[in-house]
Amino acid sequence: MKLKDFISPRFNATVICLAVMGIASAVSAQSYPNKPITIVAPFVAGGDADQSARNLATVAQNVLKQSVIVVNKGGASGAIGSQFVKDAAPDGYTLLLARVGSQAVLPAMKSDLSYKWNDFTFIGLLELNPVVCVVNAESPYKTFEDLTKAITAQPGKLNYSSSGPGTILNFASQLILQSLKLKPDAAMNVSYKGGSEAVVAVLAKEVDFSCGNLTSALTQINSSKLRALVVTTPERVKEIPTVPTAKEVGMPQLEAIVGWSALYGPPKMSPEIVNKWVEVLGIADKDANWQAGNVRYGGIPRILSPMDTEKFAVSQYVTYSKLSSQLGIK
């Protein structure tokens, strides 16, 4: 009796079906892209996610010879847009402009979130967005040390603006207080709807300081309406070269608080399609227009491979899990 006698017709049909699917998948990956691609920015138009997505789309459509459309699906701190991409077909035509808030902070803090930090295909980190602490240009606090001394001397007197508990703006200020060995209410949080409004509050002198994404404050810093005291990136930022880093002011732990953008896809994307986008990001990294776009919205280019992006993402998730617990932020 031969081997074929032990193999049922149903088994043969299954093998043939799987083979055809494999061939179809390979052909699809080779012809990718053959229609417009959507990058979902899970926040409203005009913010860091939106600007990063549009900056990448400009380069990508030139490389891929297909339209790359940015769609804003804001809401629930980025969860709505993120879930939309998670549920999309893994064919490379729906991608996510991942952000620290939606892909690290939310999964770290919200146990009943509908997705986890690693429920996506990692394609590449794009850039870092410095967090900067600012005061009004007329503030008596000329340096970061001036500010921390004032907070320490009179706990509870100063206040700061944020976009609410559990956001980057709140984490930054709370980490400063923890590093100074002060209680969470040593500086009082005043919540606003978003980073831009938090900056306006400093301009209007409604609060004493704020620590948020450089994007929201850069124009006011350059016009001398705000004074920048510290940035959280490891190196100084080209657009504000006189502003010291967290390490330089003796608070290196603040480097954990940094905005970032990355490109993710739905789970189970094929390696071939991922590699197409790795090529795109490699070209973007050397593209003068993409670099200039980063400068316009205060981003620091930081292209990483899919593997290194995953390592970065898990480190951010762990960081915010620990900070959430240590700082008691829910």
182-219: pLDDT as tens digits: 999 999 999 887 778 899 999 999 999 999 989 889 88
Per-residue pLDDT band for 4 (boundaries 50, 70, 90) equals very low
Please report, as a single letter, which amino acid is at residue 104. A
Of residues 239 and 122, the one with the higher pLDDT is 122
Average confidence (pLDDT) over 123-146: 96
Report pLDDT digits (tens) over 222-261.
Answer: 999 999 999 998 889 888 999 999 999 999 999 989 889 9
Give yes or no for a contact between 314 and 116, defined as CB atoms under 8 angstroms apart: no
* Mean of per-residue pLDDT scores for the chain: 89
Q: What is d(CA 283, CA 266) in angstroms, rounded to the nearest whole number?
A: 23
Per-residue pLDDT band for 9 (boundaries 50, 70, 90) equals low
Q: What is d(CA 191, CA 170) in angstroms, rounded to the nearest whole number?
A: 9
Q: What is d(CA 296, CA 298) in angstroms, rounded to the nearest whole number?
A: 6
Place of tokens 């799987």: 18
Q: What is d(CA 24, CA 41) in angstroms, rounded to the nearest whole number?
A: 30
Query: Taking the mean position of all CA atoms in its chain, how far away is CA 153?
Result: 35
Per-residue pLDDT band for 296 (boundaries 50, 70, 90) equals confident
Check whether 170 has a pLDDT greater than 70.
Answer: yes
Q: Which CATH class is domain 35-128+258-327?
A: alpha beta
Check whether 305 has a pLDDT greater than 70.
Answer: yes
Per-residue pLDDT band for 326 (boundaries 50, 70, 90) equals confident
Residue 189: CB partners within 8 Å, gap ≥ 6? 159, 160, 162, 165, 170, 173
Per-residue pLDDT band for 10 (boundaries 50, 70, 90) equals low
Report pLDDT digits (tens) over 139-151.
Answer: 999 999 999 999 9
CATH of domain 131-256: 3.40.190.10
Average confidence (pLDDT) over 118-146: 97
The pLDDT value given to residue 166: 77
The pLDDT value given to residue 247: 96
- What percentage of residues in the chain have a pLDDT greater than 90? 68
Please report, as a single letter, which amino acid is at residue 237. V
Check whether 314 has a pLDDT greater than 80.
Answer: yes
Residue 2: CB partners within 8 Å, gap ≥ 6? none
- CA-wise closest residue to 301 among 167, 124, 65, 132: 124
The pLDDT value given to residue 3: 40
How are strands ordered across the β-sheet holding 226-231? 188-191, 159-162, 209-213, 131-136, 226-231
Residue 295: CB partners within 8 Å, gap ≥ 6? 238, 239
Check whether 220 has a pLDDT greater than 50.
Answer: yes
Place of tokens 């490699």: 282
The pLDDT value given to residue 315: 92
Check whether 137 has a pLDDT greater than 50.
Answer: yes
- What percentage of residues in the chain have a pLDDT greater than 70? 91
> Do 35-128+258-327 and 131-256 come out as alike in CATH topology?
yes
Q: Is the pTM of this model over 0.85?
A: no
The pLDDT value given to residue 7: 45
Average confidence (pLDDT) over 69-77: 91
- CA-wise closest residue to 100 among 309, 212, 261: 261
Check whether 12 has a pLDDT greater than 90.
Answer: no
Per-residue pLDDT band for 29 (boundaries 50, 70, 90) equals low
Q: What is d(CA 255, CA 257) in angstroms, rounded to the nearest whole number?
A: 5
SS (H, E, C) the chain: CCHHHHCCHHHHHHHHHHHHHHHHHHHHHHHCCCCCEEEEECCCCCCHHHHHHHHHHHHHHHHHCCCEEEEECCCHHHHHHHHHHHCCCCCCCEEEEEEHHHHHHHHHHCCCCCCCCCCCEEEEEEEEECEEEEEECCCCCCCHHHHHHHHHHCCCCCEEEECCCCCHHHHHHHHHHHHCCCCCCCCEEEECCCHHHHHHHHHCCCCCEEEEEHHHHHHHHHCCCEEEEEECCCCCCCCCCCCCECCCCCCHHHHHCCEEEEEEECCCCCHHHHHHHHHHHHHHHCCHHHHHHHHHCCCEECCCCHHHHHHHHHHHHHHHHHHHHHHCCC
Please report, as a single letter, which amino acid is at residue 71. V
Of residues 7 and 168, the one with the higher pLDDT is 168
Domain extents in the chain? 35-128+258-327, 131-256
The pLDDT value given to residue 229: 98
Check whether 66 has a pLDDT greater than 60.
Answer: yes
